[in-house]
Chain A
Amino acid sequence: MAVPPTVISYLKDINPQVSMEIFGIPHQAFLGQLLLGLVNGAFYALLSLGLAVIFGLLGIVNFAHGALYMLGAFAAWIMLDKFGINYWLALLLAPLSVGALGVVIERLFLKHLYKIDPIYGLLLTFGLALIAEGIFRELYGVSGKNYDVPELLSGATNLGFMVLPNYRAWVVLVSLSVCLSTWYLIERTRLGAYLRAGTENAALVQAFGINVPLMVMLTYGAGAALAALAGVLAAPIIQVNPLMGSNLIIVVFAVVVIGGMGSIMGSILTGLGLGVIEGLTRVFYPEASSIVVFIIMVIVLMIRPAGLFGKEA
């Protein structure tokens, strides 16, 4: 694949004595694009993690995930605009309030759907997403709202091969730590063991005196909170817009499918990996950057129908 002339001049510009090359482009520029891909991958990981947790433990295909992400971003914006609550508090409060909303959704709607075909859960959450988007479009219009980068994280750091805005580094840091703690909580702790057991055989776990419905309710709340957290993290980077979730949700679903439905580590690693691959596509062949994830999905499904990290049924 030919490297566009812009890339080459970019590379020469960064380091005139480029010596090493990776895939035909010098390693300096390669590192820059790799890092940008990682930043986007951090968002994919955080969003697909929530989806994977909800699907893995509840068996619900949560189409409202994009809307919950949008609600998280809007919650942060409303908190700042109407109540003067700063970014740092919003980072805590927005996921909590959206998580509480998730609990309400689970109690009111989803709990009636566990025993029937998963398609009902998908349709219900899709409907909820459309309603949420419609309400916010009516209230705030479609142009979007601006949310500034917090003072402490504004500015940028020169890494030698590129200038990285500090806020983007922060996003990667938060996302990775949240992803790994969630994985640890579910796969390595006693609470996680209860959760996994509860989804395998609810009646048996209930018989041991564990409140399974409560656990399931909180799980959906936590999944919603994870989506909202991603929304707050995204608010200073992109315009806060009622349609921001629907632009992203399809890619995130593809990430979960590639990683293996329900596999938590799978969704984290796939999210990061696909962010990187998408980022590199933007350099080599920008026109394909919006479909590269889906091409990979097709290939993975053909070779490993359960996804890269999924267990064959």
Chain B
Amino acid sequence: MKTKTLVASMAIGFAAAASAQGTGPVKIGFITDMSSVYADLDGPAGGEMVKWAAQDFGGKVLNRPIEVVTADHQNKADIASAKAREWIDKDGLSMLIGGTNSGTSLAMAKLAEEKKRPFFSIGAGSARLTNEACSPYTVHYAYDTVALAKVGAAALVKAGGKNWFFLTADYAFGHSLEADASTIVKANGGTVMGAVRHPLNASDFSSFLLQAQSSKAQVLALANAGGDFSNAMKSAKEFGILKTMKPIGLLVFITDVHSLGLSNAEGLQVADSWYWNQDDASRKFAKRFFEKYKRMPTSVQAADYSAASNYLKAVQTAGTTDADKVMSTLKSMKIDDFYNKGQIRADGRMIHDMYLYQVKSAKESTTPWDYYRMIAKVPGEQAFTSAADSKCALLKK
């Protein structure tokens, strides 16, 4: 009898706790690099996009207010997962969004799986998130290294850029970009003539570039990012290397192109998931962003908005914030907004079109931030890792 009473009271206690959780605010957490190398392409503005998505949704879902919290992971995986853990355990976080930096996203994906919370990775590039390290709670929303390589490299090889030389940042991210792109180059009948590895934040690229030039390759592939990318491009121009080699940036955002200036970036080919000037809906979003930040949004910032608003839609449709139900709704619904059209696959990979752009010359560019001309649109099924090639167990059911 005593045991029965105890069990019954515990059951009541649980029910009360559950209902308390069900009436409080729906909390969305956003963790990214807010102050260092990647802060311009995502950063505080990315967090603001998540807030905009919540406001535009009406500030409420299932009659509960939506609350957005943000944090700076300083590019450290332990900070990212500690913050996420705190939010989930103490504040009853409903959903987590991870910004730039693959290391932090991989750590948060693991935590989200353990805690059963939907996790959207936006700015991180590593394709591992939905391959070897896939989880039923991860959505990899914007792009990944495989898609960048497939879209960027394949097109250039097919257009006659057969011989490649890589200038690679000497750490995990650079190596995986180089490996993914090399595979694509070879699969399309091209050759990799060589590669030189430079340290992160290298102070000077001239020696490396002369080595690239001497390889006689037609394509200079920059498997680096941010400041290293900009400085390498600038020196390549200065030493006249772009007269004989065609540059391709394997991870370039529009903020990088803006910072380099068209005189240095002209002719560069860039793979990306979105461009502010691609259609009316995108321009409308970009205009609103520009009014606040005096610059145009990157694809990552657009994806931050889109991810948050589609999550809220899924919660509305599912009628609950329960992670399993929301995830199954997300994977069965169509994503269709200004950012992209697509579908979230069973492994969490959002399959959508990817684009190849070429940076315009100063003459072609007519308005501020008019930087890209689209040269190819690649359907999602071709751009991302195919289900057959994936090692993710979720696809094998």
Contact yes or no, B234 A10, CB < 8 A = no
Whole-angstrom distance between the Cβ of B360 and the nearest chain A Cβ: 16
- Complex Cα gap A282–B208 (Å): 7
The chain B residue sitting closest to A288, CB to CB, is B199
Cβ-neighbour of B230 out of A9, A33, A143, A290 (below 8 A): A143
Binds A, one of B32-40, B64-72, B78-86: B32-40
Contact yes or no, A287 B197, CB < 8 A = yes
Binds B, one of A100-108, A195-203, A238-246: A238-246
Contact yes or no, B40 A239, CB < 8 A = no
Contact yes or no, B235 A237, CB < 8 A = yes
Cβ-neighbour of A286 out of B40, B197, B256 (below 8 A): B197
Contact yes or no, A6 B211, CB < 8 A = yes
The chain B residue sitting closest to A285, CB to CB, is B197
Contact yes or no, B207 A33, CB < 8 A = yes
- Residues of chain B within 8 A (CB-CB) of A39 are 204, 206
Contact yes or no, A162 B201, CB < 8 A = no
Interface size class of B (residues with CB under 8 A): 35 or more
The chain B residue sitting closest to A279, CB to CB, is B207
- Residues of chain A within 8 A (CB-CB) of B332 are none
- Residues of chain B within 8 A (CB-CB) of A243 are 37, 227
Interface residues as binary, B18-42 with A (CB distance below 8 Å gives 1, 0 otherwise): 0000000000000000011111110
- Complex Cα gap A115–B165 (Å): 56
At the interface, yes or no: A146 with Cβ under 8 Å from chain B?
yes
Contact yes or no, B207 A247, CB < 8 A = no
Cβ-neighbour of A40 out of B204, B216, B240 (below 8 A): B204
Contact yes or no, B37 A6, CB < 8 A = no
Whole-angstrom distance between the Cβ of B279 and the nearest chain A Cβ: 26
Contact yes or no, B258 A289, CB < 8 A = no
Whole-angstrom distance between the Cβ of B113 and the nearest chain A Cβ: 32
- Complex Cα gap A149–B240 (Å): 14
Contact yes or no, B202 A290, CB < 8 A = yes
Contact yes or no, B238 A251, CB < 8 A = no
Interface residues as binary, A221-232 with B (CB distance below 8 Å gives 1, 0 otherwise): 000000000000
- Complex Cα gap A9–B37 (Å): 36
Interface residues as binary, B184-214 with A (CB distance below 8 Å gives 1, 0 otherwise): 0000000001101111011110111011111
- Complex Cα gap A162–B210 (Å): 9
Contact yes or no, A290 B207, CB < 8 A = no
Cβ-neighbour of B207 out of A149, A237, A282 (below 8 A): A282
The A interface, classified by DSSP as helix, strand, loop or mixed, is helix
Interface centre among A32, A149, A241, A282 (most CB of B within 10 A): A282
Contact yes or no, A247 B259, CB < 8 A = no
- Complex Cα gap A84–B216 (Å): 41
- Complex Cα gap A14–B210 (Å): 11
The chain B residue sitting closest to A289, CB to CB, is B199
Contact yes or no, B203 A6, CB < 8 A = no
User: Which residues of chain A from 36 to 73 have a CB within 8 Å of any chain B CB?
Assistant: 36-37, 39-40
Whole-angstrom distance between the Cβ of B51 and the nearest chain A Cβ: 20
At the interface, yes or no: A124 with Cβ under 8 Å from chain B?
no
At the interface, yes or no: B340 with Cβ under 8 Å from chain A?
no
Whole-angstrom distance between the Cβ of A310 and the nearest chain B Cβ: 25
Contact yes or no, A13 B216, CB < 8 A = yes
Interface residues as binary, A271-282 with B (CB distance below 8 Å gives 1, 0 otherwise): 000000001001
Closest 8 CB pairs of A and B: A10-B214, A290-B199, A282-B207, A143-B259, A146-B261, A141-B40, A143-B40, A239-B230
- A binding-site residues for B, Cβ under 8 Å: 4-7, 9-11, 13-14, 32-33, 36-37, 39-40, 137, 141-146, 148-149, 156, 162-163, 165, 167-168, 237-239, 241, 243, 247-248, 251, 279, 282-283, 286-287, 289-290
6 contacts between A and B (CB under 8 A): A39-B204, A143-B40, A143-B255, A282-B207, A283-B211, A289-B207
